[in-house]
Structure formats: structure tokens, C-alpha cells
């Protein structure tokens, strides 16, 4: 990454749950560092401590606790909280945590779903402006079209079965436990390049061109029978599997009819959120965390004390 190659970003796809973009002007080490930070070092909120007061459901306590821990919590305002390890309180307080309760009893005659919507925040003595607990609730999940999905089912209760649970939500990062990771997946790949020798492609038969098109699992190529052309239809879909090159080589027409490679210092990211943060917010916070690490490293190399970096 140099001053002669400015960083540029182009958003390719953006939904309520996913963002896909290409970035140029950074090398592989920086791109992979950003991917790793998004996975394991962006702070979020998650249920960290659970007390089972009563459980007469069919599931053991451990199953329910595990399911509660993996429910994504809206972490838009996680910056207002401190890590519990840094808090001076004895256990938990409004500065480092939020207390939730879940109290459900099965109805007569049919089963009752216990969902993430049944998790309620314990009332706080603080005013609305001073309390952060009002914003730390189970995240609302959306499908790829932006439609609200049903809440997460924790368990089902039969007649007279009952759950009475207290839970504490705390701030953390995915490196400590995966429940704090804000992403379902982060995919990184180099930007592909495909070069075709037009004069040599013209020597191929129509059947051979169709075979090349069909050999690509990502459907990158398109054969136009009316003109006899073999075109690149979707370059960004290329996964560098080299199946097209293998197919061309099987025709014994000579090498380098199709050359597949990657563009240097250009990458495609695909980020799918777990629901705790919007996908674009994950990218912004990851860039902040990575910048903070770089600044601290520079100061450490100069044997200086680290300083706070503001967004």
C-alpha cells in the first residue's frame, strides 16, 4: 500500500444482512488483517451469565443456556459500555452489563413457543437518557429482502411447564468466545482476471466453446450461438478453479488460450452479519479497531505510551 495507489472501495451488494464490496489499493496482509478483525475483535454484546431459577421444560439447563448465549443482541450502543473485566463493580452494574429475565409458563391444551422476544429487560432506576439498558435487546433479524423474520425459538413448553431465568448481557469480542462475533461469515478473495486469446478462441468449434462455458461452476462464461462468440459474462463470480483452463488444454490447441489470474492489491469482501450489528457498521468498526492497533504498534516501536483514538 503506497501513496501512488490510493485506496478505493466499490459496493457490489448491500442488504439488511449482507454487504459485498471490492477494495483496491491494499495488499493481502492488510486485507486479511481486516477480515480477522471483523471476525474476532469487533466488540458486541451477548448473554454471558445465566441463572436458572426454574426449568420444568424437556430441555436440560445446559441446552437452554447454550441457546441463550448464541442469541444475537442488538449492539448498536455497545460503545457506551465498558468490558466487565475493566469495570470496578462487584459483579455487574449499568456501566458494564444489562440484566434480562425470561419468565414463561405453558398454556393449557397446546404447546407454547419460548422465543427471544420473551427476554425482557429488568427495569432500571435510572432515567431513560442515562440508562443504556433500554437499547440492549435481542436483535431483530431480517431476510435478504429486508422483511422481518420471526423471533428465535429457544424451546417449547407443554401444559404447566415453566421457565424462570435471569441473564446478564456483557460486552466482549469474538476472540474470547464466538457468541461475541458480529459476523456469520466473512469471505475474502482476490479480484480475478481472465484473458482470452481471441484469435485462438476463434479456432475452437461451437461444441468446444459450449464445453468451456459448461465447465465453469461459477457460470462466468456465456456462449452466443448466433455470433459464435465466447464472452466473459460475470468476471466477479470467478473463483479461480481453473476448470476452464483444464478444459481448453484437453482440446490440444496449444496453451494460453485462456489465462486466469488475479489483479494485484484488489480484493472482494463478502460480510454476512449475525444480527447484532448492521453489515456496514461491522466494516466501519473493524477499520477503527485495525487503525487503533496500527497506531499502538507505531507508538510501541517508538517506546511511547499509547493514546486513545476516537472515531
Q: Inform me whether the pLDDT recorded for 305 exceeds 80.
A: no
Neighbours of 195 (CB within 10 A): 11
Q: Domain span at residue 115? A: 44-178
User: 41: closest CA among 294, 282, 311?
Assistant: 282
| pLDDT tens sequence across 171-192 | 999 999 999 999 999 999 999 9
283 within some domain: no
Q: Inform me whether the pLDDT recorded for 23 exceeds 90.
A: yes
Query: Grid coordinates 448498536 are at which residue?
Result: 76
Counts of helices then strands in the chain (DSSP H, E) = 6, 12
128 within some domain: yes
137 within some domain: yes
Q: Which DSSP helix (H) or strand (E) runs through 285?
A: helix 279-301
Judging by DSSP bridges, how do beta strands 153-157 and 112-115 pair with one another? Answer: antiparallel
187 within some domain: no
Q: What angle do CA 96, 92, 131 make, to 5 degrees?
A: 50
169 within some domain: yes
Mean pLDDT value of segment 117-136: 64
261 within some domain: no
Q: Inform me whether the pLDDT recorded for 154 exceeds 90.
A: yes
Mean pLDDT value of segment 123-133: 48
239 within some domain: no
Q: How confident is the model at residue 299 (pLDDT cuts 50, 70, 90)?
A: confident
Q: Inform me whether the pLDDT recorded for 5 exceeds 50.
A: yes
Longest CA–CA separation in the chain, Å: 80
CATH number of the domain that 134 lies in? 2.170.120.12
Q: How many domains does the chain have?
A: 1
147 within some domain: yes
| pLDDT tens sequence across 61-83 | 999 999 999 999 999 999 889 99
Amino acid at each position: 500500500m503506497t501513496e501512488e495507489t490510493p485506496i478505493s472501495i466499490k459496493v457490489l451488494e448491500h442488504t439488511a444482512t449482507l454487504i459485498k464490496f471490492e477494495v483496491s489499493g491494499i495488499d493481502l496482509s492488510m486485507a486479511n488483517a481486516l477480515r480477522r478483525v471483523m471476525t474476532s475483535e469487533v466488540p458486541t454484546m451477548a448473554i454471558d451469565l445465566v441463572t436458572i431459577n426454574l426449568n420444568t421444560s424437556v430441555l436440560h439447563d445446559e441446552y437452554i443456556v447454550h441457546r441463550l448465549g448464541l442469541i444475537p443482541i442488538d449492539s448498536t450502543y455497545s460503545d457506551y459500555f465498558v468490558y466487565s473485566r475493566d469495570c470496578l463493580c462487584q459483579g455487574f452494574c449499568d456501566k458494564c452489563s444489562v440484566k434480562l429475565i425470561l419468565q414463561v409458563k405453558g398454556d393449557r391444551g397446546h404447546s407454547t413457543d419460548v422465543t427471544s422476544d420473551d427476554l425482557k429487560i429488568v427495569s432500571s432506576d435510572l432515567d431513560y437518557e442515562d440508562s443504556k439498558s433500554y437499547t440492549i435487546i435481542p436483535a431483530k433479524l431480517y431476510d435478504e429482502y429486508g422483511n422481518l423474520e420471526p423471533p428465535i425459538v429457544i424451546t417449547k413448553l407443554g401444559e404447566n411447564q415453566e421457565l424462570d431465568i435471569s441473564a446478564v448481557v456483557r460486552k466482549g469480542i469474538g476472540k474470547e468466545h464466538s457468541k461475541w462475533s458480529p459476523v456469520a461469515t466473512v469471505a475474502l478473495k482476490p479480484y480475478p482476471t481472465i484473458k482470452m486469446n481471441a484469435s485462438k478462441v476463434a479456432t475452437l468449434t461451437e461444441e468446444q466453446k459450449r464445453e468451456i462455458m459448461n465447465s465453469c461452476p461459477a457460470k462466468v462464461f456465456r456462449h452466443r450461438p448466433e455470433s459464435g462468440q465466447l464472452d466473459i459474462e460475470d468476471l466477479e463470480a470467478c473463483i479461480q478453479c481453473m476448470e476452464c483452463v483444464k478444459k481448453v488444454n484437453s482440446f490440444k490447441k496449444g496453451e494460453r488460450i485462456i489465462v486466469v489470474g488475479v489483479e494485484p492489491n484488489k480484493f472482494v469482501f463478502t460480510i454476512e452479519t449475525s444480527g447484532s450489528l448492521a453489515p456496514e457498521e461491522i466494516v466501519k468498526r473493524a477499520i477503527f479497531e485495525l487503525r487503533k492497533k496500527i497506531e499502538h504498534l507505531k507508538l510501541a516501536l517508538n517506546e511511547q505510551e499509547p493514546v486513545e483514538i476516537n472515531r
